[in-house]
Structure 1
Amino acid sequence: MKLEIVRSCIFGFLLVIVQYSLAQEKPNIILLYADDISARELPIYGSTVWSLPKGGDTSDRQYRAQTPVLDHLAEEGIYVKTAWAATICSPSRAMMMTGRYAHQHKWWHNSDKGKAPNKKGSWNLYDSAPYTLEDIAHKGGYATYWAGKTQMKISGFNFDEACFTPGEGSYNTPIATTDFRLETRKINGQKKIFNADTNQEATSYVQSGWYWKPHVQLLNHPKATGPLEWWPNNKAAKDTFGLNTFGPDVELEFIFDFMERKQQEKKPFFVYHTSHLGHDAMDFLNPESKSKWPGTPKISWDGKTYTRIQPNVTGDNGVYDTHGTITESGIHHHINYLDYQVWRYMNKLKEMGIANNTIFIFCADNGTSGYGKGSPVSQKGTHVPLIIYAPGMNMTKKGLQDILVNMSDMLPTIAEIASVKIPDSYEVNGESLLPFLTTDKPKHREWIYGYHKDMQIIRGDFVLKDGKNDWWDVSENPDDLISFKKIKDWRAVSEAHRKERDELNKVLPRFNLHATAHDAPKNGLEKPTPLQLIEDNK
């Protein structure tokens, strides 16, 4: 029986690859990577608990997100019950962009990155992994676009175009286009952080606006005067830029422009949309606010269509009137706005006539701030949403999938979709989802892995070992998605639990290199075998 399943999976997988290879047009790919959003925040996951505007837990439905579009995509496509990232931003983005874990790229934590071979600064992500997402997409014939948050040095990546919010080097720069920024100033020999808009001392971290009145940088825009240019960069944009400009809207407009141009060129596109939505930030419109998430433009859903109210913000120097056009604070409003933007994506794809030839992926980089972000406890920091909608793929699965998926799986999945062969000698920790999505393969992974500095987190179907070295019984489904039973007596659980524990313990030493190989290899990386298109191997 097992042999028949394996044969069926192999045959189905090869058939899918052949179909993609022979297709006149490869499917477009949009990967929307949201920021700091736990799976529990999306209603589709059925949690009885979600986050308050100031952080923490609540079951009050006024703070629960409403996501009719994402719900529909999840039900008509698939959504994964247990998808994991790392516990915090940079290591998760490194995992996503490389398909590798920290033992290879050395980004153990935001504040814990391996040194470069010359010991001067951190090891750049693109140096630690010769094949990143855009390299894979390019080899497959895709035009590539990166929009939103970077959180890393961008100069060594090879995206064709980009819209960065904020642009690299935008903190403490004299060419800032917005005074919505927190900057470092030296006062009596001491460094302090000030709100440039109010000239008052602030308690948050240095940042340039990425929500309201954002600081935006364009890469290789066809109408720009150079490879990197600050926006607004023309009279029309300068005339309208200001308090009513919302960064996530700017990103989407540039993405849509790119999509239209690539369709005219008859070239498939890969969009890597790393939205800030979900991330807490300084609320420049309400600088005294203690809430974590600034409000968004107000939207409403009538059952079929979203309506967005045009923002109308007036004022200056920290005193603003939003005239009822901006929501209150809260991560639920950020998620609602993501749903609105996904609705816009779907409408744009239909308008362009490519809805059935586009794969749309929605996921997030780590748990919610004030709840899971940065937490190595159980799966608080690692458990994120994952939705895949691909109406033209003929997926064999639909709706909720009780499988284990890691963010490192995205790179090899995109490689398979793009018909790109990664050299066998090049270690990738992710596993392609395509065989599971398009055949009768019943399971994707045996285990998933996360990390937090020197801590390791791993789970299978029965047990989870967290960064505190506690073991949890994950064979049952708690209503809040997290209240698993801690295993204190291994005699009280089944043989299957104990067997899986032993198997997971065998996996961990391979990745446990924080103490012994924390930094980049002395001589960097050897040049790997080039990527190949699968068609080249015929």
Structure 2
Amino acid sequence: MKNINYKIVFTFLGCLLISTLSRAQEKPNIILLYADDISARELPIYGSTVWSPPKGGNTSNMQYRAETPILNELAEEGCYIKTAWAATVCGPSRAMMMTGRYAHLHKWWHNKDKGKAPNGKGVWNLYDSSPHSIANVAKAGGYATFWAGKTQMEIEGFQFDEGCFTPGEGSYNTAIHTTDFRLETRKVDGQKKIFNADTNKEIYKKSYVQSGWYWKPHVQLMNHPGTNKKLVWWPNTKEAENDFGLNTFGPDVELDYIFEFMERKQKEKEPFFIYHTSHLGHDAWDFLNPNSGNKWPGTPKISWDGNKYTRVTPNVTGDNGVYDTHETVTESGIHNHVNYLDYQVWQYMNKLKELGIENNTIFIFCADNGTSGYGKSSPVSQKGTHVPLIIYAPSMNLTKKGMQDVLANMSDMLPTIADVAHVEIPDSYEINGESLIPFLTTDKTTHREWIYGYHKETQIIRGNLVLKDGNNVWYDVSETPYDLISFPKIKDWSQVSVAHRKERDKLLKTIPTFNLHETQHDAPTNGIVKINPLKKIK
């Protein structure tokens, strides 16, 4: 036997072990891109033969089909969930996402149907009803946190370190000197009317008060370095004001500040959690074409050559509602919003490579509810609840690739992030979501037996075989229809299998746990008395 220098061998093995442990203990960064009002059917990977045209509704015209080469690639190299559900409309869905809980706990039943606070005044804030929010979980796990985009709720109690909001808090009743892209309420002869502040004309088309979040947007920064206030309106410097104008596109501003945050945290060797609640997908008043009746304002034009995206620099000129885009802005349509999201995901991937963290970042793409003019706020079948869910995590050694025919829910994101961050949620604290990590990283073949959504006082629930919608109509969902929603209705239960009936019975036993709209609509009188803290698992 040859002489072996065991000292060298042990030293080598020790270094290898330390290196391996160091890599294993390095927490992956997490980016959660939560798009707005986008049904699963709008993404080509879901295989629907029907999608949304520019005015809303249904079409099979390929002219209005989104093209998503980057999301397609991430879905195939990572995985995507065939049937992921949210609530039917944005407020309750965002509540579900941020709390990991359903409305029976956080009391956000619908956008205009929210439970009162314990004192009976105002809406019960999510951070009060559900103190272990997605931000708190990330912070407990040692993550720096950033929130960008749409808020639609009070932000004070969430543990986000920084933020870039479009529009910012209070912008609906604040006139900002840098932009008049705003629909506002004015009293005329004692009656409230809605006016376009840009044209100074009354709005006769059905609309609502809103601050522009696309072109020439209202933007607010939170805790940005160099500012001495928690919230400041942007542009907040002379240089930024000089660059700001008609060619400023809100989603671009969000990404600029997200990337700046990522750069700083990477230099500081601090893992980060990005919660990017993009407006893209949401319809809005088209300030560049105020008389058009457009549902989805255009985006900067982009093109894909099979390898990279090229973005046309916007060139918008004009004022007072009369604008010329010089063919640098797309036509109206949600397909262009989905395309621009794909472009931004491409930018994300490039940034991760630039920072050298592409293999240590988990990227999640999903949406809050069905498309406006089709599924949004609809309790029918799964029109309002069925959303895309893509998970790309090269550092996790996923055991699942491509399409996964399982059930998932937006409430699953919080416990999934808790697992990644090694944070333990106390057993005494009810969470309705289930972590996807066991399914994604083992030989486990299923994730959930059922998924749940809600629409005001109605319950929407499904398993692998049957679905009950908000109108109490039952469907056979054992096979997927061409449009992802036109499942056969079950009118005679004797005509379906025993397994179908057993699953129906199980779902019916589950519903009463959440069906508390009538009996427990508001916060408990004493609120939440005591909550055990989150624990960081060593």
Count how many residue pairs are aligned between Structure 1 and Structure 2. Answer: 517
Give distance in 1, aligned partners of 2:321 and 2:356.
45
User: 1:530 pairs with 519, 529, 533, which one?
Assistant: 533
Aligned to 2:184: 183
User: 2:524 pairs with 516, 521, 524, which one?
Assistant: 521
Aligned to 1:11: none
What is the CA distance between 1:271 and its match in structure 2? 0.1
8 Å CA contact retained: 2:182, 2:198: yes
TM-score by length of 2: 0.95
Check 1:504–1:176 CA distance in 2 against 1; reply closer, same or farther (3 A cut): farther
Aligned to 2:427: 424
Check 1:500–1:281 CA distance in 2 against 1; reply closer, same or farther (3 A cut): same
Aligned to 1:172: 173
Aligned to 2:321: 318
What is the CA distance between 1:335 and its match in structure 2? 0.2
Check 1:475–1:176 CA distance in 2 against 1; reply closer, same or farther (3 A cut): farther
What is the CA distance between 1:172 and its match in structure 2? 2.6
Query: Where in structure 2 are there 5+ consecutive unaligned residues?
Result: 1-19
Aligned to 2:375: 372
SS in 1 for 2:73: helix
Give distance in 2, aligned partners of 1:21 and 1:379.
44
8 Å CA contact retained: 2:459, 2:511: yes
Give distance in 2, aligned partners of 1:309 and 1:25.
38
Aligned to 1:263: 266
Aligned to 1:163: 164
Give distance in 1, aligned partners of 2:432 and 2:215.
38
Q: Counterparts in 2 of 1:70-469, with a 5 A limit?
A: 70-202=71-203, 203=205, 204-469=207-472
Give distance in 2, aligned partners of 1:263 and 1:21.
17
Give distance in 2, aligned partners of 1:174 and 1:289.
25
What is the CA distance between 1:21 and its match in structure 2? 9.5
Q: What is the one-letter code of the residue matched to 1:173?
A: T
What is the CA distance between 1:20 and its match in structure 2? 9.0
Q: What is the one-letter code of the residue matched to 2:478?
A: S
8 Å CA contact retained: 1:224, 1:233: no
Deviation digits for residues 155-208 of structure 1 (CA, Å, limit 9, x no counterpart): 111200000000010013133531000001011111111000001111310000
Check 1:530–1:76 CA distance in 2 against 1; reply closer, same or farther (3 A cut): same
Aligned to 2:65: 64
Give distance in 2, aligned partners of 1:384 and 1:518.
27
Query: Where in structure 1 are there 5+ consecutive unaligned residues?
Result: 1-18
8 Å CA contact retained: 1:20, 1:417: no
Structure 1 ranges of 4+ moved more than 2 A: 19-24, 174-177
Q: What is the one-letter code of the residue matched to 2:245?
A: G
What is the CA distance between 1:527 and its match in structure 2? 2.2
Give distance in 1, aligned partners of 2:22 and 2:144.
17
Percentage identity across paired residues of the two chains? 78
Give distance in 2, aligned partners of 1:224 and 1:239.
19
8 Å CA contact retained: 2:412, 2:433: yes
Give distance in 2, aligned partners of 1:125 and 1:521.
14
What is the CA distance between 1:330 and its match in structure 2? 0.0
SS in 1 for 2:394: coil
Q: Indicate the structure (1 or 2) with the bigger Cα radius of gyration.
A: 2
Deviation digits for residues 321-373 of structure 1 (CA, Å, limit 9, x no counterpart): 00000000000000000000000000000010000000000000000000000
What is the CA distance between 1:22 and its match in structure 2? 7.5
Give distance in 2, aligned partners of 1:113 and 1:178.
32
8 Å CA contact retained: 2:285, 2:294: no
Give distance in 2, aligned partners of 1:444 and 1:476.
18
Aligned to 1:3: none
What is the CA distance between 1:477 and its match in structure 2? 1.1
Deviates more, 1:523-532 or 1:252-261: 523-532
